[in-house]
Amino acid sequence: MNILVCYDETEASQAALKLAVQHAKALNATAFVITSMIGGTKDNIDDNKRADSGLKYAQSVLEKNGISCNTHLLVRGLTSGEDILQFANENDINEIIIGIKKTSKVGKLVFGSTAQHVILESNCPVVTVK
């Protein structure tokens, strides 16, 4: 079984990582931790380094709990939601765990919602945490 954890160092993604530890242990699953860089350019070195550092932290948490883990920094020119779904399809993911934060209806309308897109378009179960 493969579990995908969407991680960006926010409190919501920390909660997603914590839940992924529980699910991976219970299901003897491999965890895939991804961070999607919006815009798809590799020009912003500081953001990429910060994201890579976050992925290394997530990997250490999972491995400390005896969970096999793969991390991926996605810089592919897609929106975060598209990145998550494409990665899930490419890697036979059985469950996606994503953190959510409260956003106003206007904010969702103007900016969209990555979690909402993933929930509506995913081919596998999606678990959200806040």
pLDDT in tens, 10-24: 999 999 999 999 999
CATH number at residue 60: 3.40.50.620
What does the pLDDT look like over 48-69, one tens digit per residue?
A: 888 999 999 999 999 999 999 9
* pLDDT for the residue 104: 64
Domain that holds residue 81: 2-129
- 113-128 burial code (b ≥16 CB/10 A, e <16): bbbebbbeebeeebeb
All residues at 6 or more sequence positions from 68 whose CB lies less than 8 Å from its CB, including other chains:
30, 31, 62
State which H helix or E strand residue 57 sits in: helix 45-64
How many domains are there within the chain? 1
| Number of neighbouring beta carbons within 10 Å of residue 103 | 15
Q: What is the pTM of this model?
A: 0.90
